[in-house]
Structure 1
Amino acid sequence: MATQFDLFRISVVAKQRPSLFAKTEDKDAYIVRVFSEKWHFEHRKTKFYYVYISSSQGHIISKIGRERVIDYNTAPETGFEREQMPAWQASTLVIDPKDHQDGHKLAFEIIQQLGNALSIMKSMFKHINNAVDSSFDLEINPIVNPGTFFSFVEKSESPVSYLSITFTPPNGLWTAGSSAKEEVKQIVDNTGATKVKTTVSNPNGLDTTSKGLKEAVDYAESGSGSIRARTVNGTRYSSDVNQKSAIILGDSDDVQQNVIENPQQALGQN
């Protein structure tokens, strides 16, 4: 059997107006503090719970889950009557809190009955930003399989007429040297923006061959933003549905123990 983990990048963004009581700490320490606690938050009118499990090789192992009602049948003596009972469904999370070339990374075990991983993470991070008194906010974006946007461009029957890229301010080294990263950082430093959105359009088609566009797309696909596009004939592209994953082979009942022994595997860092 195989277990799939979808991969995300965590961006730590400095608040422009932190409270007077906000704790002073570096970005790595803040990620460790936040994800070493227990949380509950609402997602689509359902209460979810985040629970810290352990630390392994500098990585955080945790669970996120919710209560659900399951159907079952009683014993033959009662005619296999249909009954319902509460149960819990939970996914394993693996978090690399360190700032390095492939750090500030989160892996989410995919269990279809739990819900969409990106949507759940967006709700949890929104709750954390509202609940924690800190000088930082946390943003999360899916890491995209590299080259998927340009693969879409090559396979499309008509040119791209609309392209929108939303960047999260850089805080890691995974795209060091990228001019796109430096431009986003300069805008953030000058304006205090928490996100930077660039949109271009031409009803007759855009030139998608420039070096600058490739750097911008590569930067966003690394987990530092999201991409939306549309071609002249109306075909649409979203980076959110081209997410990068890691696969762990073995019994799904042993997922938690497997990631404790080798957290890098779930994060695709092997």
Structure 2
Amino acid sequence: MSSGGGTSTFVIRWINFLTSLLAMGVVGFGVWMSTHHDNCRKSLTLPVICLGAVIFLVSIIGFLGAWKNNTILLWIYLVFLCVILIAILVFTVLAFIVTNNGSGHDIAGLRYKEYELNDYSSWFLKQLNNSHNWNHLKSCLVKSEDCNNLSKNYKTLKQFKLAKLSPIEAGCCRPPSECGYPAVNASHYDLSFHPMSSNKDCRLYKNSKSIKCYNCDSCKAGVAQYMKTEWRVVAIFNVILFIVLSIVYFVGCCARRNASRDNSKV
């Protein structure tokens, strides 16, 4: 075997060995999520487990192909890896397109921003305005205790006004500032005042722990901002993963080519 062929197969062998260990960690994390999270987050476990399983399978094929210097296995490995690269690229491009729109609005006297649903992409609007999707998300928000924890985290009204709330806390746990409802504390507003705005969210907000502003467009906008942030993180991670896997793919091509050359000499 040529020195180039030996180097490429050695590198692809060890890269895929380490990748297979990483994949087992991903599968283990998915299993852990399924046993330590509620039904709302369990929906994330299947994709995590499947992703880990696919990476593990491809890594094993690549490792065996490089170890045995087997052209067929290396071809299968490269085809699978190419499909994964295309899938990552498509998802990443779509993620950047979907999260391109939408940002918060500064409110005088507040350290956090408020969000408007119509600022976000049509994809977010379609998903969040779907009653089935939103009812599921709303049940998760009620169970999350985010709104209930505000009164525990901010004992005084001054602390609450100086707080830097998350998009979900700002949109789902309180009425929009334009409503003009005076805050009694971090979890209670004086709703006896006539709202200063015609925004329907002003009428939908209730102090009840199970209602709050969970039916408001401002809550949907807060969720959209949260999803946008999460998707951006995933998209950036995918860019890094795409670059790494592209290098692995290139090394795999070299290993496959050298394996074919060595087999033709036999």
Q: Report the TM-score range of the alignment, normalised by the length of the smaller protein.
A: under 0.3
Relative contact order (C-alpha < 8 Å, sep 6+): which is higher? 1
Structure 2-normalised TM-score? 0.24
User: Greater helix share, 1 or 2?
Assistant: 2
Structure 1-normalised TM-score? 0.24
| Structure of higher CA gyration radius | 2
User: Greater strand share, 1 or 2?
Assistant: 1
